[in-house]
Protein backbone atom coordinates (compact mmCIF):
# COMPACT_ATOMS: atom_id res chain seq x y z
CA UNK A 1 0.00 0.00 0.00
CA UNK A 2 1.38 3.39 -1.00
CA UNK A 3 1.89 5.92 1.75
CA UNK A 4 0.24 9.33 1.67
CA UNK A 5 2.43 12.06 0.29
CA UNK A 6 3.74 14.37 3.07
CA UNK A 7 2.20 17.83 3.01
CA UNK A 8 4.30 20.84 2.08
CA UNK A 9 4.56 22.05 5.67
CA UNK A 10 6.01 18.77 6.92
CA UNK A 11 8.32 18.65 3.91
CA UNK A 12 9.63 22.10 4.80
CA UNK A 13 10.20 21.04 8.40
CA UNK A 14 12.12 17.97 7.21
CA UNK A 15 14.18 20.04 4.79
CA UNK A 16 15.07 22.38 7.66
CA UNK A 17 15.91 19.61 10.15
CA UNK A 18 19.70 19.90 9.79
CA UNK A 19 19.91 23.25 11.66
CA UNK A 20 17.71 21.75 14.38
CA UNK A 21 20.19 18.90 14.69
CA UNK A 22 22.99 21.38 15.30
CA UNK A 23 20.87 23.19 17.88
CA UNK A 24 20.22 19.85 19.60
CA UNK A 25 23.97 19.14 19.81
CA UNK A 26 24.61 22.62 21.21
CA UNK A 27 21.88 22.03 23.81
CA UNK A 28 23.56 18.79 24.85
CA UNK A 29 26.86 20.57 25.36
CA UNK A 30 25.25 23.48 27.22
CA UNK A 31 23.47 21.17 29.65
CA UNK A 32 26.56 19.01 30.22
CA UNK A 33 28.64 22.12 30.95
CA UNK A 34 26.04 23.19 33.51
CA UNK A 35 27.13 20.22 35.62
CA UNK A 36 30.33 22.16 36.31
CA UNK A 37 28.48 24.32 38.86
CA UNK A 38 27.27 21.55 41.21
CA UNK A 39 30.65 19.80 40.87
CA UNK A 40 32.31 23.10 41.80
CA UNK A 41 30.16 23.33 44.94
CA UNK A 42 30.99 19.77 45.95
CA UNK A 43 34.73 20.31 45.41
CA UNK A 44 34.61 23.69 47.13
CA UNK A 45 33.31 22.20 50.37
CA UNK A 46 35.04 18.87 50.05
CA UNK A 47 38.52 19.86 48.85
CA UNK A 48 39.16 23.61 49.12
CA UNK A 49 37.84 24.07 52.65
CA UNK A 50 39.63 20.93 53.76
CA UNK A 51 42.99 21.81 52.16
CA UNK A 52 42.76 25.58 52.69
CA UNK A 53 44.43 25.86 49.25
CA UNK A 54 44.00 29.22 47.52
CA UNK A 55 45.60 27.87 44.35
CA UNK A 56 43.05 25.06 44.15
CA UNK A 57 40.26 27.58 44.65
CA UNK A 58 41.55 29.80 41.85
CA UNK A 59 42.01 26.91 39.44
CA UNK A 60 38.49 25.62 40.10
CA UNK A 61 36.98 29.08 39.87
CA UNK A 62 38.69 29.78 36.55
CA UNK A 63 37.70 26.33 35.25
CA UNK A 64 34.03 26.85 36.10
CA UNK A 65 34.13 30.36 34.65
CA UNK A 66 35.62 28.98 31.45
CA UNK A 67 32.92 26.31 31.28
CA UNK A 68 30.19 28.94 31.54
CA UNK A 69 31.88 31.17 28.97
CA UNK A 70 31.87 28.25 26.56
CA UNK A 71 28.24 27.57 27.50
CA UNK A 72 27.30 31.19 26.75
CA UNK A 73 29.04 31.03 23.37
CA UNK A 74 27.26 27.78 22.52
CA UNK A 75 23.94 29.29 23.61
CA UNK A 76 24.60 32.21 21.25
CA UNK A 77 25.33 29.82 18.40
CA UNK A 78 22.21 27.82 19.24
CA UNK A 79 20.14 30.99 18.95
CA UNK A 80 21.85 31.85 15.65
CA UNK A 81 21.17 28.37 14.30
CA UNK A 82 17.48 28.66 15.24
CA UNK A 83 17.30 32.04 13.57
CA UNK A 84 18.83 30.59 10.40
CA UNK A 85 16.39 27.71 10.65
CA UNK A 86 13.53 30.22 10.73
CA UNK A 87 14.95 32.00 7.67
CA UNK A 88 15.30 28.73 5.77
CA UNK A 89 11.84 27.53 6.79
CA UNK A 90 10.26 30.82 5.75
CA UNK A 91 12.14 30.83 2.46
CA UNK A 92 10.72 27.40 1.67
CA UNK A 93 7.17 27.94 2.93
CA UNK A 94 6.28 31.60 2.43
CA UNK A 95 5.97 31.41 -1.36
CA UNK A 96 3.77 28.32 -1.11
CA UNK A 97 1.52 29.90 1.52
CA UNK A 98 1.24 33.11 -0.50
CA UNK A 99 0.37 31.14 -3.66
CA UNK A 100 -2.07 28.90 -1.77
CA UNK A 101 -3.89 32.01 -0.51
CA UNK A 102 -5.00 32.79 -4.05
CA UNK A 103 -6.22 29.24 -4.61
CA UNK A 104 -8.20 29.44 -1.38
CA UNK A 105 -9.54 32.90 -2.27
CA UNK A 106 -10.73 31.73 -5.70
CA UNK A 107 -12.20 28.54 -4.31
CA UNK A 108 -14.06 29.74 -1.25
CA UNK A 109 -13.63 33.48 -0.94
CA UNK A 110 -13.06 35.33 2.31
CA UNK A 111 -10.10 37.02 3.90
CA UNK A 112 -7.21 34.55 3.90
CA UNK A 113 -4.48 36.92 5.10
CA UNK A 114 -4.74 35.30 8.55
CA UNK A 115 -2.67 32.47 7.08
CA UNK A 116 0.32 34.80 6.71
CA UNK A 117 0.03 35.65 10.41
CA UNK A 118 -0.23 31.93 11.15
CA UNK A 119 2.99 31.28 9.23
CA UNK A 120 4.81 34.05 11.09
CA UNK A 121 3.50 32.88 14.47
CA UNK A 122 4.38 29.24 13.80
CA UNK A 123 7.88 30.20 12.63
CA UNK A 124 8.44 32.37 15.71
CA UNK A 125 7.42 29.48 17.95
CA UNK A 126 9.88 27.19 16.19
CA UNK A 127 12.72 29.65 16.70
CA UNK A 128 11.74 31.11 20.08
CA UNK A 129 11.60 30.10 23.73
CA UNK A 130 9.01 27.41 23.05
CA UNK A 131 11.47 25.40 20.96
CA UNK A 132 14.26 26.05 23.47
CA UNK A 133 12.11 24.29 26.09
CA UNK A 134 12.04 21.15 23.96
CA UNK A 135 15.81 21.31 23.53
CA UNK A 136 16.33 21.44 27.31
CA UNK A 137 13.58 19.02 28.33
CA UNK A 138 15.37 15.82 27.11
CA UNK A 139 18.32 16.60 29.40
CA UNK A 140 16.22 16.83 32.55
CA UNK A 141 16.69 13.04 33.11
CA UNK A 142 20.46 13.63 33.20
CA UNK A 143 20.09 15.95 36.18
CA UNK A 144 17.52 13.61 37.71
CA UNK A 145 20.03 10.76 37.34
CA UNK A 146 22.73 12.83 39.01
CA UNK A 147 20.39 13.43 41.94
CA UNK A 148 19.65 9.71 42.22
CA UNK A 149 23.41 9.03 42.25
CA UNK A 150 23.92 11.53 45.06
CA UNK A 151 20.96 10.29 47.09
CA UNK A 152 18.03 8.09 46.10
CA UNK A 153 15.43 9.97 48.16
CA UNK A 154 16.41 13.38 46.80
CA UNK A 155 16.22 12.01 43.26
CA UNK A 156 12.83 10.43 43.94
CA UNK A 157 11.52 13.68 45.39
CA UNK A 158 12.56 15.62 42.28
CA UNK A 159 11.11 12.96 39.97
CA UNK A 160 7.75 13.14 41.72
CA UNK A 161 7.91 16.94 41.60
CA UNK A 162 8.63 16.91 37.87
CA UNK A 163 5.67 14.61 37.22
CA UNK A 164 3.42 16.89 39.28
CA UNK A 165 4.56 19.95 37.29
CA UNK A 166 3.95 18.13 34.00
CA UNK A 167 0.50 17.08 35.20
CA UNK A 168 -0.30 20.69 36.05
CA UNK A 169 0.75 21.72 32.54
CA UNK A 170 -1.63 19.13 31.07
CA UNK A 171 -4.37 20.37 33.39
CA UNK A 172 -3.69 23.92 32.24
CA UNK A 173 -4.18 22.79 28.65
CA UNK A 174 -7.42 20.96 29.47
CA UNK A 175 -9.04 23.92 31.22
CA UNK A 176 -7.83 26.66 28.86
CA UNK A 177 -7.81 25.06 25.37
CA UNK A 178 -11.54 25.56 24.72
CA UNK A 179 -11.38 29.19 25.86
CA UNK A 180 -8.30 29.81 23.70
CA UNK A 181 -9.98 28.28 20.65
CA UNK A 182 -13.00 30.56 21.12
CA UNK A 183 -10.71 33.56 21.54
CA UNK A 184 -8.76 32.78 18.37
CA UNK A 185 -11.93 32.18 16.33
CA UNK A 186 -13.47 35.42 17.57
CA UNK A 187 -10.25 37.30 16.81
CA UNK A 188 -10.17 36.02 13.22
CA UNK A 189 -13.83 36.87 12.69
CA UNK A 190 -13.31 40.33 14.12
CA UNK A 191 -10.25 41.07 11.98
CA UNK A 192 -11.96 39.79 8.82
CA UNK A 193 -15.09 41.81 9.57
CA UNK A 194 -12.97 44.93 10.14
CA UNK A 195 -11.14 44.45 6.82
CA UNK A 196 -14.44 43.94 5.01
CA UNK A 197 -15.99 47.04 6.56
CA UNK A 198 -12.98 49.21 5.71
CA UNK A 199 -13.03 48.02 2.09
CA UNK A 200 -16.61 49.28 1.90
CA UNK A 201 -16.04 52.52 3.83
CA UNK A 202 -17.91 54.65 1.28
CA UNK A 203 -21.06 52.54 1.50
CA UNK A 204 -20.82 52.42 5.29
CA UNK A 205 -20.65 56.19 5.55
CA UNK A 206 -23.19 56.91 2.82
CA UNK A 207 -25.86 54.56 4.19
CA UNK A 208 -25.26 55.29 7.86
CA UNK A 209 -24.29 51.68 8.57
CA UNK A 210 -21.58 52.44 11.13
CA UNK A 211 -23.74 52.03 14.30
CA UNK A 212 -25.14 48.70 13.10
CA UNK A 213 -21.72 47.46 12.00
CA UNK A 214 -20.23 48.55 15.32
CA UNK A 215 -22.86 46.55 17.18
CA UNK A 216 -22.12 43.50 15.04
CA UNK A 217 -18.36 43.98 15.44
CA UNK A 218 -18.68 44.24 19.21
CA UNK A 219 -20.30 40.80 19.39
CA UNK A 220 -17.03 39.14 18.35
CA UNK A 221 -15.08 41.71 20.33
CA UNK A 222 -16.90 40.80 23.54
CA UNK A 223 -16.28 37.11 22.92
CA UNK A 224 -12.61 37.94 22.31
CA UNK A 225 -12.11 40.10 25.40
CA UNK A 226 -14.22 37.86 27.62
CA UNK A 227 -12.45 34.74 26.39
CA UNK A 228 -9.03 36.32 26.83
CA UNK A 229 -9.92 37.36 30.37
CA UNK A 230 -11.25 33.89 31.20
CA UNK A 231 -8.28 32.09 29.63
CA UNK A 232 -5.80 34.45 31.28
CA UNK A 233 -7.49 34.01 34.64
CA UNK A 234 -7.34 30.21 34.37
CA UNK A 235 -3.78 30.22 33.06
CA UNK A 236 -2.69 32.68 35.73
CA UNK A 237 -4.28 30.65 38.53
CA UNK A 238 -2.66 27.41 37.43
CA UNK A 239 0.59 29.23 36.61
CA UNK A 240 0.82 30.60 40.14
CA UNK A 241 0.09 27.15 41.54
CA UNK A 242 2.87 25.74 39.35
CA UNK A 243 5.31 28.34 40.70
CA UNK A 244 4.22 27.55 44.25
CA UNK A 245 4.68 23.82 43.60
CA UNK A 246 8.12 24.42 42.15
CA UNK A 247 9.20 26.46 45.18
CA UNK A 248 7.69 23.89 47.54
CA UNK A 249 9.70 21.13 45.88
CA UNK A 250 12.86 23.24 46.17
CA UNK A 251 12.16 23.81 49.87
CA UNK A 252 11.59 20.11 50.42
CA UNK A 253 14.83 19.27 48.57
CA UNK A 254 16.72 21.70 50.79
CA UNK A 255 15.03 20.36 53.91
CA UNK A 256 15.78 16.78 52.98
CA UNK A 257 19.36 17.71 52.09
CA UNK A 258 19.80 19.54 55.38
CA UNK A 259 18.46 16.49 57.23
CA UNK A 260 20.99 14.30 55.44
CA UNK A 261 23.76 16.76 56.35
CA UNK A 262 22.71 16.67 60.00
CA UNK A 263 22.81 12.89 59.86
CA UNK A 264 26.27 13.23 58.29
CA UNK A 265 25.14 11.17 55.27
CA UNK A 266 26.16 13.91 52.81
CA UNK A 267 28.35 16.97 53.09
CA UNK A 268 27.35 20.66 52.85
CA UNK A 269 28.71 20.86 49.31
CA UNK A 270 26.40 18.08 48.20
CA UNK A 271 23.50 19.98 49.77
CA UNK A 272 24.14 22.97 47.50
CA UNK A 273 24.73 20.65 44.54
CA UNK A 274 21.33 19.08 45.19
CA UNK A 275 19.73 22.52 45.17
CA UNK A 276 21.37 23.46 41.87
CA UNK A 277 20.66 20.14 40.17
CA UNK A 278 17.03 20.01 41.30
CA UNK A 279 16.47 23.57 40.09
CA UNK A 280 17.91 22.71 36.67
CA UNK A 281 15.96 19.42 36.48
CA UNK A 282 12.63 21.04 37.30
CA UNK A 283 13.11 24.24 35.24
CA UNK A 284 12.08 22.68 31.88
CA UNK A 285 8.81 21.41 33.35
CA UNK A 286 7.96 24.86 34.66
CA UNK A 287 8.93 26.44 31.34
CA UNK A 288 6.70 23.99 29.48
CA UNK A 289 3.82 25.08 31.69
CA UNK A 290 4.66 28.74 31.09
CA UNK A 291 4.92 28.26 27.33
CA UNK A 292 1.87 26.02 27.03
CA UNK A 293 -0.48 28.69 25.72
CA UNK A 294 1.96 29.62 22.95
CA UNK A 295 2.47 25.97 22.09
CA UNK A 296 -1.29 25.41 21.88
CA UNK A 297 -1.66 28.42 19.59
CA UNK A 298 1.22 27.14 17.46
CA UNK A 299 -0.52 23.77 17.08
CA UNK A 300 -3.68 25.58 15.92
CA UNK A 301 -1.63 27.62 13.45
CA UNK A 302 -0.11 24.38 12.16
CA UNK A 303 -3.56 22.85 11.61
CA UNK A 304 -4.83 25.95 9.79
CA UNK A 305 -1.76 26.01 7.55
CA UNK A 306 -2.25 22.31 6.76
CA UNK A 307 -5.87 23.05 5.85
CA UNK A 308 -4.81 25.95 3.63
CA UNK A 309 -2.24 23.83 1.82
CA UNK A 310 -4.58 20.86 1.42
CA UNK A 311 -5.21 20.43 -2.28
CA UNK A 312 -2.64 23.08 -3.24
CA UNK A 313 -0.05 21.90 -5.73
CA UNK A 314 2.99 24.02 -6.62
CA UNK A 315 3.29 24.78 -10.29
CA UNK A 316 5.58 22.12 -11.75
CA UNK A 317 8.52 23.14 -13.84
CA UNK A 318 7.15 23.33 -17.37
CA UNK A 319 8.85 23.51 -20.73
CA UNK A 320 8.80 27.05 -22.07
CA UNK A 321 6.12 27.27 -24.73
CA UNK A 322 6.37 29.48 -27.83
CA UNK A 323 4.24 32.58 -28.09
CA UNK A 324 0.67 31.41 -28.84
CA UNK A 325 -1.04 32.44 -32.04
CA UNK A 326 -4.39 32.81 -30.28
CA UNK A 327 -6.19 29.62 -31.35
CA UNK A 328 -8.81 29.11 -28.63
CA UNK A 329 -10.74 25.83 -28.36
CA UNK A 330 -13.46 25.06 -25.82
CA UNK A 331 -14.71 21.48 -25.88
CA UNK A 332 -17.65 20.18 -23.81
CA UNK A 333 -16.83 22.41 -20.83
CA UNK A 334 -18.92 22.06 -17.68
CA UNK A 335 -18.23 23.60 -14.29
CA UNK A 336 -19.79 23.04 -10.88
CA UNK A 337 -18.83 24.47 -7.51
CA UNK A 338 -18.63 21.96 -4.64
CA UNK A 339 -21.42 23.63 -2.64
CA UNK A 340 -23.89 23.92 -5.52
CA UNK A 341 -26.36 21.34 -6.83
CA UNK A 342 -26.54 22.60 -10.41
CA UNK A 343 -23.50 23.32 -12.60
CA UNK A 344 -22.77 26.91 -13.58
CA UNK A 345 -21.79 25.83 -17.09
CA UNK A 346 -23.12 22.88 -19.07
CA UNK A 347 -21.42 21.36 -22.10
CA UNK A 348 -20.05 24.58 -23.64
CA UNK A 349 -18.24 24.18 -26.97
CA UNK A 350 -16.91 26.67 -29.52
CA UNK A 351 -13.65 27.70 -31.15
CA UNK A 352 -11.96 30.92 -32.24
CA UNK A 353 -9.28 31.18 -34.88
CA UNK A 354 -6.29 33.47 -34.22
CA UNK A 355 -7.36 37.09 -34.58
CA UNK A 356 -11.12 36.44 -34.26
CA UNK A 357 -13.20 38.43 -31.80
CA UNK A 358 -16.12 36.97 -29.84
CA UNK A 359 -18.89 38.77 -27.99
CA UNK A 360 -20.61 36.88 -25.15
CA UNK A 361 -24.10 37.98 -24.16
CA UNK A 362 -26.84 36.68 -21.94
CA UNK A 363 -28.93 37.56 -18.89
CA UNK A 364 -27.40 38.09 -15.46
CA UNK A 365 -26.34 34.84 -13.83
CA UNK A 366 -26.09 33.05 -17.18
CA UNK A 367 -22.49 31.97 -16.49
CA UNK A 368 -20.68 34.54 -18.63
CA UNK A 369 -18.09 35.56 -16.00
CA UNK A 370 -17.60 31.92 -15.04
CA UNK A 371 -16.83 31.15 -18.66
CA UNK A 372 -14.23 33.91 -18.85
CA UNK A 373 -12.51 32.44 -15.78
CA UNK A 374 -12.38 29.12 -17.61
CA UNK A 375 -10.85 30.75 -20.68
CA UNK A 376 -7.87 32.17 -18.81
CA UNK A 377 -7.31 29.24 -16.47
CA UNK A 378 -8.44 30.79 -13.19
CA UNK A 379 -10.83 27.89 -12.67
CA UNK A 380 -10.34 24.41 -14.02
CA UNK A 381 -13.36 22.90 -15.79
CA UNK A 382 -15.13 20.10 -13.96
CA UNK A 383 -15.43 18.43 -17.36
CA UNK A 384 -14.12 19.24 -20.79
CA UNK A 385 -11.14 21.13 -22.15
CA UNK A 386 -10.07 24.74 -22.65
CA UNK A 387 -7.03 24.94 -24.92
CA UNK A 388 -4.89 27.78 -26.21
CA UNK A 389 -2.86 26.69 -29.22
CA UNK A 390 -3.66 23.08 -28.34
CA UNK A 391 -2.47 23.23 -24.69
CA UNK A 392 -4.77 23.23 -21.65
CA UNK A 393 -4.79 26.78 -20.29
CA UNK A 394 -4.66 25.64 -16.65
CA UNK A 395 -1.53 23.57 -17.43
CA UNK A 396 0.53 26.54 -18.55
CA UNK A 397 3.05 28.02 -16.18
CA UNK A 398 1.02 30.95 -14.86
CA UNK A 399 3.83 33.51 -15.18
CA UNK A 400 4.51 32.46 -18.77
CA UNK A 401 0.80 32.34 -19.59
CA UNK A 402 0.27 35.82 -18.19
CA UNK A 403 2.85 37.29 -20.55
CA UNK A 404 0.69 36.30 -23.52
CA UNK A 405 -2.77 37.01 -22.11
CA UNK A 406 -4.67 40.13 -21.10
CA UNK A 407 -7.58 39.97 -18.68
CA UNK A 408 -9.94 42.61 -17.34
CA UNK A 409 -12.34 41.29 -14.69
CA UNK A 410 -15.79 42.69 -14.09
CA UNK A 411 -14.66 44.40 -10.87
CA UNK A 412 -11.33 46.16 -11.38
CA UNK A 413 -9.06 46.15 -8.34
CA UNK A 414 -5.80 48.06 -8.20
CA UNK A 415 -2.84 47.31 -5.96
CA UNK A 416 -1.11 49.51 -3.43
CA UNK A 417 1.88 50.83 -5.34
CA UNK A 418 2.57 53.24 -8.18
CA UNK A 419 0.57 53.68 -11.37
CA UNK A 420 3.50 52.19 -13.25
CA UNK A 421 3.59 49.16 -10.94
CA UNK A 422 -0.07 48.47 -11.60
CA UNK A 423 0.24 48.67 -15.38
CA UNK A 424 3.51 46.69 -15.39
CA UNK A 425 1.90 44.00 -13.17
CA UNK A 426 4.73 44.64 -10.68
CA UNK A 427 7.20 43.02 -13.05
CA UNK A 428 10.71 44.47 -13.02
CA UNK A 429 11.57 43.39 -16.57
CA UNK A 430 8.98 45.63 -18.25
CA UNK A 431 10.29 48.70 -20.06
CA UNK A 432 8.89 52.19 -19.66
CA UNK A 433 8.01 52.12 -23.34
CA UNK A 434 5.81 49.05 -22.87
CA UNK A 435 4.05 50.66 -19.90
CA UNK A 436 3.32 53.96 -21.65
CA UNK A 437 2.23 52.16 -24.81
CA UNK A 438 -0.31 50.10 -22.84
CA UNK A 439 -1.59 53.28 -21.18
CA UNK A 440 -1.90 55.01 -24.54
CA UNK A 441 -3.75 52.03 -26.01
CA UNK A 442 -6.20 52.16 -23.10
CA UNK A 443 -6.66 55.91 -23.51
CA UNK A 444 -5.45 56.82 -20.02
CA UNK A 445 -1.94 58.13 -20.74
CA UNK A 446 -3.03 61.79 -20.86
CA UNK A 447 -4.70 61.49 -17.45
CA UNK A 448 -1.63 59.86 -15.90
CA UNK A 449 0.85 62.47 -17.12
CA UNK A 450 -1.33 65.22 -15.59
CA UNK A 451 -0.83 63.71 -12.14
CA UNK A 452 1.76 65.42 -9.94
CA UNK A 453 4.15 62.44 -10.11
CA UNK A 454 2.88 60.95 -13.33
CA UNK A 455 3.45 57.23 -13.60
CA UNK A 456 5.19 57.24 -10.20
CA UNK A 457 2.04 58.43 -8.41
CA UNK A 458 1.22 56.22 -5.46
CA UNK A 459 -2.15 54.50 -5.29
CA UNK A 460 -3.91 53.68 -2.06
CA UNK A 461 -6.21 50.72 -1.51
CA UNK A 462 -8.09 50.11 -4.78
CA UNK A 463 -6.67 53.35 -6.17
CA UNK A 464 -9.48 55.41 -4.64
CA UNK A 465 -7.10 58.26 -3.76
CA UNK A 466 -6.48 59.05 -7.43
CA UNK A 467 -8.92 57.44 -9.84
CA UNK A 468 -12.65 57.24 -10.26
CA UNK A 469 -14.35 53.89 -10.89
CA UNK A 470 -14.28 54.41 -14.66
CA UNK A 471 -10.65 55.53 -14.60
CA UNK A 472 -9.69 52.49 -12.55
CA UNK A 473 -11.33 50.34 -15.19
CA UNK A 474 -9.30 52.02 -17.92
CA UNK A 475 -6.13 51.53 -15.85
CA UNK A 476 -7.07 47.86 -15.51
CA UNK A 477 -7.50 47.76 -19.28
CA UNK A 478 -3.97 49.16 -19.69
CA UNK A 479 -2.71 46.38 -17.43
CA UNK A 480 -4.53 43.83 -19.61
CA UNK A 481 -2.97 45.23 -22.80
CA UNK A 482 0.62 45.15 -21.52
CA UNK A 483 3.10 43.30 -23.70
CA UNK A 484 1.06 42.88 -26.88
CA UNK A 485 -0.91 39.79 -25.74
CA UNK A 486 -2.15 37.07 -28.09
CA UNK A 487 -5.45 36.62 -26.22
CA UNK A 488 -7.45 39.34 -24.47
CA UNK A 489 -10.50 38.55 -22.32
CA UNK A 490 -12.61 41.51 -21.19
CA UNK A 491 -15.52 41.07 -18.76
CA UNK A 492 -17.89 44.06 -18.93
CA UNK A 493 -15.07 46.44 -19.96
CA UNK A 494 -17.50 49.34 -20.54
CA UNK A 495 -19.62 48.90 -17.39
CA UNK A 496 -18.28 52.08 -15.78
CA UNK A 497 -17.12 54.04 -18.81
CA UNK A 498 -18.51 57.36 -19.98
CA UNK A 499 -18.99 58.24 -23.64
CA UNK A 500 -15.34 59.24 -24.05
CA UNK A 501 -14.15 56.08 -22.32
CA UNK A 502 -16.36 53.85 -24.43
CA UNK A 503 -15.15 55.51 -27.61
CA UNK A 504 -11.56 54.84 -26.47
CA UNK A 505 -12.51 51.22 -25.77
CA UNK A 506 -13.88 50.80 -29.30
CA UNK A 507 -10.59 52.18 -30.65
CA UNK A 508 -8.71 49.64 -28.52
CA UNK A 509 -10.85 46.78 -29.83
CA UNK A 510 -10.31 47.94 -33.39
CA UNK A 511 -6.57 48.11 -32.86
CA UNK A 512 -6.51 44.63 -31.30
CA UNK A 513 -8.49 43.32 -34.24
CA UNK A 514 -6.05 44.92 -36.68
CA UNK A 515 -3.07 43.34 -34.87
CA UNK A 516 -4.62 39.87 -35.11
CA UNK A 517 -5.25 39.46 -31.37
CA UNK A 518 -7.91 36.97 -30.33
CA UNK A 519 -10.48 38.88 -28.24
CA UNK A 520 -13.35 37.73 -26.02
CA UNK A 521 -15.74 40.42 -24.71
CA UNK A 522 -18.58 40.03 -22.22
CA UNK A 523 -21.02 42.91 -22.24
CA UNK A 524 -24.69 43.83 -21.90
CA UNK A 525 -24.23 46.67 -24.41
CA UNK A 526 -24.33 45.55 -28.03
CA UNK A 527 -22.58 48.75 -29.14
CA UNK A 528 -19.25 47.33 -27.94
CA UNK A 529 -19.57 44.45 -30.42
CA UNK A 530 -18.78 46.61 -33.44
CA UNK A 531 -15.48 44.82 -34.06
CA UNK A 532 -16.43 41.25 -33.09
CA UNK A 533 -16.81 38.45 -35.61
CA UNK A 534 -19.02 36.08 -33.63
CA UNK A 535 -21.60 36.15 -30.88
CA UNK A 536 -22.15 33.54 -28.17
CA UNK A 537 -25.53 33.73 -26.44
CA UNK A 538 -25.52 31.98 -23.04
CA UNK A 539 -28.45 31.38 -20.71
CA UNK A 540 -28.67 29.10 -17.70
CA UNK A 541 -25.08 28.03 -18.23
CA UNK A 542 -25.84 26.64 -21.69
CA UNK A 543 -25.16 27.84 -25.22
CA UNK A 544 -28.38 29.05 -26.79
CA UNK A 545 -26.79 30.16 -30.05
CA UNK A 546 -23.36 30.74 -31.53
CA UNK A 547 -22.35 32.10 -34.89
CA UNK A 548 -21.80 35.15 -37.08
CA UNK A 549 -22.37 38.44 -35.27
CA UNK A 550 -24.94 39.85 -37.66
CA UNK A 551 -26.89 36.61 -37.81
CA UNK A 552 -27.10 36.06 -34.04
CA UNK A 553 -27.88 39.69 -33.19
CA UNK A 554 -30.51 39.68 -35.94
CA UNK A 555 -32.12 36.58 -34.45
CA UNK A 556 -32.15 38.06 -30.96
CA UNK A 557 -33.89 41.20 -32.23
CA UNK A 558 -36.69 39.21 -33.90
CA UNK A 559 -39.77 38.42 -31.78
CA UNK A 560 -39.83 34.88 -33.21
CA UNK A 561 -36.09 34.34 -32.71
CA UNK A 562 -34.24 33.06 -29.75
CA UNK A 563 -35.98 34.20 -26.55
CA UNK A 564 -34.10 37.02 -24.93
CA UNK A 565 -34.32 39.51 -22.15
CA UNK A 566 -34.26 43.25 -22.05
CA UNK A 567 -30.50 42.95 -21.66
CA UNK A 568 -30.06 40.89 -24.82
CA UNK A 569 -32.51 42.83 -26.99
CA UNK A 570 -30.16 45.78 -27.16
CA UNK A 571 -29.87 47.90 -30.24
CA UNK A 572 -27.42 46.53 -32.80
CA UNK A 573 -24.08 48.23 -33.23
CA UNK A 574 -23.84 50.84 -35.99
CA UNK A 575 -21.89 48.48 -38.23
CA UNK A 576 -24.64 45.89 -37.95
CA UNK A 577 -27.41 48.37 -38.69
CA UNK A 578 -25.61 49.45 -41.81
CA UNK A 579 -24.86 45.93 -42.99
Digit-coded pLDDT (tens) for 473-491: 889 899 999 988 999 999 9
| 435 & 532 share domain | no
The span from the CA of 177 to the CA of 85, in Å, is 28
Residue 84 within any structural domain of the chain: yes
Residue 289 banded pLDDT, cuts 50, 70, 90: low
| 296 & 189 share domain | yes
pLDDT of residue 537: 92
- Nearest CA to 271 out of 283, 284, 257 is that of 257
Q: Which residue has the higher pLDDT, 385 or 554?
A: 385
- Res 128 pLDDT > 70: yes
Tell me how far the alpha carbon of residue 258 is from its chain's centroid: 57
Residue 217 within any structural domain of the chain: yes
**Mean pLDDT value across residues 92-96:** 78
- Res 520 pLDDT > 90: yes
The span from the CA of 148 to the CA of 422, in Å, is 69
pTM for this prediction: 0.65
**Mean pLDDT value across residues 111-115:** 63
pLDDT of residue 560: 47
- Res 360 pLDDT > 60: yes
Q: Which residue has the higher pLDDT, 430 or 51?
A: 430
| 150 & 231 share domain | yes
- Res 579 pLDDT > 50: no
| 242 & 356 share domain | no
The range of the structural domain enclosing residue 547 comes to 351-404+487-579
Tell me how far the alpha carbon of residue 83 is from its chain's centroid: 21
pLDDT of residue 367: 87
What's the per-residue H, E or C state across 109-138?
Answer: CCCCCHHHHHHHHHHHHHHCHHHHHHHHHH
Residue 325 within any structural domain of the chain: no
Give the range among 282-291, 398-407, 420-429 with minimum mean pLDDT.
282-291
| 369 & 263 share domain | no
Residue 103 banded pLDDT, cuts 50, 70, 90: low
Digit-coded pLDDT (tens) for 393-407: 887 877 788 888 999
**Mean pLDDT value across residues 414-439:** 89
Digit-coded pLDDT (tens) for 526-563: 778 888 999 999 998 898 999 998 888 888 776 544 44
- Res 464 pLDDT > 70: no
- Res 335 pLDDT > 60: yes
| 215 & 355 share domain | no
| 177 & 278 share domain | yes
| 55 & 22 share domain | yes
* Spatial strand order in the sheet of 357-361: 405-408, 487-491, 518-522, 357-361, 534-539, 542-548
Question: Looking at the 3D structure of the chain, how many domains does it have?
Answer: 3
Residue 337 within any structural domain of the chain: no
| 428 & 553 share domain | no
Amino acid sequence: MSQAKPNLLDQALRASVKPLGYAFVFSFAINILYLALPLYMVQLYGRVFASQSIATLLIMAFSVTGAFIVSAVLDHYRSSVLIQFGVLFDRIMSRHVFAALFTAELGQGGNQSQSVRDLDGFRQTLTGSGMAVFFDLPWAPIFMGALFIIDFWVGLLCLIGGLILFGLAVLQDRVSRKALNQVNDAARRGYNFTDMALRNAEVVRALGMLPALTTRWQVDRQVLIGGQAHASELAGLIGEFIKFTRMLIQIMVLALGAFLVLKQIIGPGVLFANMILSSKALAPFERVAGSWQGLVEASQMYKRLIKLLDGYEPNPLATAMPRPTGLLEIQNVSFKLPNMKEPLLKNISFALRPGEALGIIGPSGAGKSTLTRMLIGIWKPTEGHVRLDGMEVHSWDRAAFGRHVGYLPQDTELFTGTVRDNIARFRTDVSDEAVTRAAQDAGIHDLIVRLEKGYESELGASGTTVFSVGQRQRLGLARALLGDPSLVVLDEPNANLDTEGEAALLDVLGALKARGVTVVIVSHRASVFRHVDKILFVRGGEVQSFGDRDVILGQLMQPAGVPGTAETRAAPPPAVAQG
